[in-house]
Amino acid sequence: MPAPGFLVFYLSLWVCCTLVHYILLGGYADLGTGFLALDAFITQTSLFLLLLPLWFLVRFRKKGKDYSLAGIVNALVGGGLLLGIWYVVMRESLVGLLYTETGAGELFRNTLGLRIAFGFLAGLAVYHFFLASRLHREAREANERQVELEGLVLQTELQALKNQLNPHFIYNSLNAISSLTLTDPEKAREMVVKLSDFLRYALKQDALEMTTLEKEMNAIELYLEIEKVRFGEQLNHRFRLEEQDKNLELPGLILQPLFENAVKHGVQQLPGQPGPAFRVIGNEKETILEVSNHFDPALGRFKGEGVGLENIRNRLRLHYGNGQLLQLEKLGNVYFARLHIPKPAN
Amino acid sequence: MEINVLIVDDEAPARTLIREFLKGHPSIANVQECADGFEGVKTMQEIKPDLVFLDIQMPKINGLEMLEILEPDLLPSVIFVTAHDEYALKAFEVNAVDYLLKPVARERFDMALEKALSRIREGTGNQREVKGLVSMEGPGPRWLDRMVVRAAGDIHIIAQEDVLCMEAQDDYVLICTEKDEFLKKKTLKFYEQKLDPSVFIRIHRSFLVRADAIQRIEPYSKDTFIAILKNDRKISVSKQGYAGLRKRFDF
């Protein structure tokens, strides 16, 4: 079914043509206004009614072959047929009924050429108008299918990005626990439990899963407690969250690589330095989660990018449509990693 | 025969584990520990241990870089101990005694220790000189991003960003930064291949230069030119070098 706007357009076109016909005929022949009006009305109305079936020609045409030989022949034949009918209608109604005096019959014959030409042009225009309308509709449908397809691809990509926890963290921690079994078995037992609690969170199957900031920070605290065993007591691992931030939704395990980098470039390189710091900054359009650490600028290599950060960017792109939500900054000897979590639209 | 052992690892529990595993072995005389690469190099020079348990991923400089800057005749037997399995090939290249993956299994440890002891007894213990490889190929940046050099007993880490130019000097390369110069026993060709060619360009048989450190280029003789760097240092440009520069800067 054609859209309502379409019908409005068609009707206005019919009205315009009728008026134009009336005016032109008035200028050409000397007839009473009644006759002029009726002539215009009958001609144009019958034309526009007869052109409507062109819609079916368009609707059921072979897609993509609009300007092929077959398509053109089709259109011409169909159009021709309709024009033929129109001619008959015109002749019977105008000559037979309206212009019963001989003079008007002549008028009809004289203006016939113009009428047919006009009818042909109108047919052409209407046909293309129908075609454009139909093409627009088809394009929109194709677009919707495309969007749906992209949605599916996104889902698959997300699945592939799950479980990007750095395995070396696990091996190094197990080594540390192994060592503790010889020197401090009680602590070893504690660490085994902490590691398994952390892994339970980190290895969740569903990468699409969103978690709350509170849950994420609990996991981060576990993670840092494990790192403390490897690197020393100064790792601060208690973070206080404001009430309103606790339920902030974010993709699970998205902060962990930032903390891992902070430990690697901070505490691990500078024993004695405080561990990574964390804070939450909120504004109207987003919540910024900031992880920062001291580093030693004298150490030439500072890998700003790594697989972990790449992964975060990909996940942000897939969840929020924007890969630039991770911002990194160096100020003096402090490194800042900021995640900009957009606030939901409502 | 009793041997002296050094353990180099930035994680205390990891060092303790090796120490514990060494307990009870009759051939071990002394065990010392170091928590980072700099300490490790210093200690290796001071006490000249027979065997070193070396972690690879460490802060400041890593295990492989450490071996690179030691005098070749000072190289002891090395057993790498690491959570990363990707350096195994490299370890093989430098003729390490063994490569232990963390978490360390006691049986594997014992086997590695036996291997080391027999190599030391036979006198084939020492590491092969670490030539031409330490650029951490494999995971990580494709191009060299830093160099480690020894100068007057100190260890310097030079970031790739700070290198202005390099000059070939027989078996060595003179690495020039804005304020300093360092000698390193490598060839210019090595650096030409290992440094990002979009950043560094070979403009002469003896010179490799950082492209955006060039302030201007002046003619010198019929076919040769002089490149003047940001710190006013002048570098010869050969005919081919000039062609390369023209192509690079499009003039």
Confidence at residue A28, expressed as pLDDT on a 0 to 100 scale = 76
Return the closest-CA partner of residue B208 out of B167, B161, B244. Answer: B167
Neighbour-count burial of B187, counting CB atoms closer than 10 A to its CB (0-12 exposed, 13-18 middle, 19+ buried): middle
Confidence at residue B127, expressed as pLDDT on a 0 to 100 scale = 56
The answer on pLDDT for B130 being more than 60 is: no
Tell me the mean pLDDT in the region B171-194: 89
Neighbour-count burial of B183, counting CB atoms closer than 10 A to its CB (0-12 exposed, 13-18 middle, 19+ buried): middle
Which residue bears the tokens 């409502």?
A346
Per-residue burial over B120-150, b if 16 or more Cβ lie within 10 Å, else e, is beeeebbbebbeeebbbeeeebeebbbbbbb
**DSSP one-letter string for A247-266:** T-EEETTSSHHHHHHHIIII
Confidence at residue A317, expressed as pLDDT on a 0 to 100 scale = 82
Tens of pLDDT along A84-98? 888 888 888 877 666
- Interface mutation vs chain A, best among B7, B33, B53, B60, most A CBs within 10 Å: B60
The answer on pLDDT for A153 being more than 50 is: yes
Per-residue burial over A190-221, b if 16 or more Cβ lie within 10 Å, else e, is ebeebbebbeebbeeeebbeebbbeebbbbbb
Q: Determine whether the interchain pair A182/B17 forms a contact, defined as Cβ–Cβ distance below 8 Å.
A: yes
Which stretch of A307-316, B79-88, B132-141, B210-219 has the lowest confidence by average pLDDT?
Answer: B132-141
Confidence at residue B126, expressed as pLDDT on a 0 to 100 scale = 59
Helix, strand, coil percentages for chain B (3-state, nearest 5): 30, 30, 35
The answer on pLDDT for A113 being more than 70 is: yes
| CA quadruple A59, A62, A68, A71: dihedral sign | negative
Tell me the mean pLDDT in the region B237-245: 87
A and B: number of Cβ contacts within 8 A? 73
> Which is more confidently placed, A214 or A67?
A214
Tell me the mean pLDDT in the region A123-150: 86
Q: Determine whether the interchain pair B102/A172 forms a contact, defined as Cβ–Cβ distance below 8 Å.
A: yes
Confidence at residue B52, expressed as pLDDT on a 0 to 100 scale = 95
pTM of the model: 0.63
Tell me the mean pLDDT in the region B219-230: 86
Q: Which residues of B touch A168 (CB under 8 A)?
A: 57, 83-84
Tell me the mean pLDDT in the region A31-54: 82
Tens of pLDDT along A178-198? 999 999 999 999 999 999 999
Q: Determine whether the interchain pair B35/A271 forms a contact, defined as Cβ–Cβ distance below 8 Å.
A: yes
> Which is more confidently placed, B13 or B139?
B13
Confidence at residue A210, expressed as pLDDT on a 0 to 100 scale = 84
Contacts of B55 (CB under 8 A, 6+ apart): B8, B9, B10, B11, B14, B63, B80, B81, B82
pLDDT band at A100 (very low <50, low <70, confident <90, very high): low
Interface contact A234, partner B, CB < 8 A: no
- Interface mutation vs chain A, best among B9, B17, B53, most A CBs within 10 Å: B17
Confidence at residue A185, expressed as pLDDT on a 0 to 100 scale = 94
Confidence at residue B135, expressed as pLDDT on a 0 to 100 scale = 41
Report chain A's mean pLDDT, rounded to a whole number. Answer: 82
Which stretch of A232-246, B26-40, B137-151, B165-179 has the lowest confidence by average pLDDT?
Answer: B137-151
Confidence at residue A214, expressed as pLDDT on a 0 to 100 scale = 92
pLDDT band at B137 (very low <50, low <70, confident <90, very high): very low
Q: Which residues of A touch B17 (CB under 8 A)?
A: 175, 178-179, 182
The answer on pLDDT for A160 being more than 70 is: no
> Which is more confidently placed, B28 or A65?
B28
Return the closest-CA partner of residue A43 out of A130, A108, A135. Answer: A108
